[in-house]
Amino acid sequence: MSNFYQSRRSLGERIFSPQSFAGINICSCCPYIEEESDEESPYPPFTGVEFLNTHDTIDEHPYTTAFSKFLAIGIDSDTANELAFGIHSAIGFISDDFEDPLRQTAVDIFDQFSDMGYWRDLGDTDSEPNGFDAYESK
């Protein structure tokens, strides 16, 4: 019996030795490992709570107008942040009830921003999205 276990042990050592895995690209074998890409993430680079805790003023938010509007109607900061970045699915975090007045108000505001083209590509400009800089005090 000892020969049986020794032979199995040596087989296992051969199969699972580091040399046997030397030529395998782990990333191609494991689809759940994300490789870095040049595509922009559909999610904001920070949460609403994180933004409020690390900035002195709301004016430093990339989408100040939308973020402040969603916060003003009583939406929590994380959901308001996602909505401010144009993520429509965040409306579901407000309420599952389609008749909820807060949800309806958020949908109306989101639709108004969308109709005005608020989230169109800004390019490399530092101005407020799509013409909103016209409302800045000069």
Whether the model clears a pTM of 0.75, i.e. scores above it, the answer is: no
pLDDT reported for residue 10: 61
Range of the domain at 66: 48-135
The Cα–Cα gap between 26 and 97 comes to: 45
Within a domain: 28: no
Q: Looking at the predicted structure, is the pLDDT value of residue 18 above 90? A: no
Q: How far is CA 55 from CA 22, 43, 58, in A?
A: 47, 19, 7
pLDDT digits (tens, 9 = 90+) for 84-126: 999 999 999 999 999 999 999 999 999 999 999 998 865 444 4
Q: Which of 118, 109, 65 is nearest to 91 (CA)?
A: 109
**Residue 43 near residue 107 (C-beta atoms within 8 A):** no
Percent of the chain at pLDDT > 70 equals 57
101 or 17: which carries more pLDDT confidence? 101
Within a domain: 123: yes
28: how many CB neighbours lie within 10 A of its CB? 9
**Residue 46 near residue 61 (C-beta atoms within 8 A):** no
Number of domains into which the chain is organized: 1
Within a domain: 39: no
Within a domain: 16: no
Within a domain: 11: no
